[in-house]
Amino acid sequence: MADTGFNAFKMAQEQFDKVAEKLELDEGTKELLRSPMREYHFNIPIRMDDGRTKVFKGFRIQHNDARGPCKGGIRFHPQETADTVRALSMWMTWKCSVVDIPLGGGKGGVICDPHNLSQREQEAICRGWVRQISKNVGPVEDIPAPDVMTNSQHMLWMLDEFETINGGRYPGFITGKPVGHGGSLGRTEATGYGVVFTLREACKGAEIDISDTTASVQGFGNVSQHAIELYHKYGGTTVCVSCWDQGDKKAHSFYKQNGIDLKELRGITDRFGSINKNRAEELGYTILPGDEWLKQEVDILIPAALENAITGENVNDISKKVKMIAEGANGPTTPEADRILHERGIIVIPDFLANAGGVACSYFEQVQSNTNYYWSKDEVIGKLDTKMTDAYYAVMELSKRNSISLRDAAYMIAISRVAEACQLRGWV
């Protein structure tokens, strides 16, 4: 989002058009699926702590609900745009489809910077967002969730507002809630763990011992931290992570040749995933420019921050040693970069497959909330592992059978399922 010349929605449409042509979709189906079905744009007036009234721009965009209620997170970000939310809603449709859960794609956002907002102001934005959109979301229509710079507390404020408006208890309205308030055990770990479940299977397929590999990771938020956690449990070594520094207003990379200590770094990281640079230096980390995570001599890259991370301009900075990229973020690789990576023989586990663990576990949470029966953490993680592994092998087998990239195979499976649902409903 920082690159004003980058349009995530155009990229999402370009990816769709390429696969729609391969699938030979008819014009009506293509026209329906390449744009959102519904969009809501609204103002959220908030009385700030200093007494001023400030108006924040909010969005909820529903791409497609042929396979079930829309599902997707709510971002708080100062550079949020409608086109970014459109792209994310489309990617959510494919993400739910590729892991075969009965949900469609949606996404929401508010243009704001939580770094500069008090807890009361953030609560007011959450409640204001729900008031503006409450008639168009709900357990059987559209189920929100956390995303960039939102968390379980934000979700609980939103749930409380929705229940107040509707006069009842509807824990299935929203996911990512705190455990004990309708949240699911394992939800916090789900997206990062899902990335590594697919990475584990990709390593097996490539006859690579994951315990002998090294990795470099972009981002140090929830997805990144839990991906690193499980990757280390499998014996891998992470030598570099990057994160945004709110004080310097730029990203830094933190490098340690013999591998980072995850517990150590977590201890000096704020709730937004920003590592304390001075403390890291004291602990022996080398501080490098933010883009150095991409240039490391490692086996695996995990972009787990924002979109537009690997582009035509920087793709050649990637070391010849890199064998695999697992996309923890949404839309981190542009089509131009993707083509170059494919030519170089680097295996790319595409975003909407690799990071689908979050929405898969959100689905599990929704099921638990609607039935008021909750599973153990081991049950949740076990179901997640099975769901991600099954999805990966379906994609991998189609990729091998048709001699196409994992991304194209994942798109073909996801889009064909959604197109079939639209056709069976008589929409096209």
Annotated active-site residue 295? The verdict is: no
Q: Which two tokens stand for residue 25?
A: 């979709």
Distance CA 19, CA 16 (A): 5
Other C-beta atoms closer than 10 Å to the C-beta of 44 total: 22
Reported residue count of the chain is: 428
Asked whether 272 and 246 are in contact (CB, 8 A), the reply is yes
Strand partners, 215: 238, 300
Distance CA 182, CA 369 (A): 6
3-state secondary structure of 69: coil
Distance CA 355, CA 306 (A): 12
How is 5-32 classified by DSSP, letter by letter? T--HHHHHHHHHHHHHHHHT--HHHHHH
Q: Which two tokens stand for residue 321?
A: 């040693």
Asked whether 182 and 367 are in contact (CB, 8 A), the reply is no
Q: Which amino acid would we find at residue 327?
A: E
Q: Which two tokens stand for residue 362?
A: 């959100």
Cα dihedral 152, 108, 187, 142 in deg (nearest 10):
110
Q: Where are the alpha helices (DSSP H) in 37-140?
A: 82-98, 119-133
Q: Which amino acid would we find at residue 189?
A: E
Distance CA 87, CA 96 (A): 14
Please, what's the b/e burial string for 354-374 (b: 16 or more CB within 10 A of its CB; e: otherwise)?
bbbbbbbbbbbbbebbeeeeb
Q: Which amino acid would we find at residue 34?
A: R
Q: Which two tokens stand for residue 78?
A: 């100062």
Q: Of 71, 95, 107, 177, which one is the catalytic site residue?
A: 107
3-state secondary structure of 63: strand
Distance CA 428, CA 420 (A): 10
Residues with a catalytic annotation lie at 107
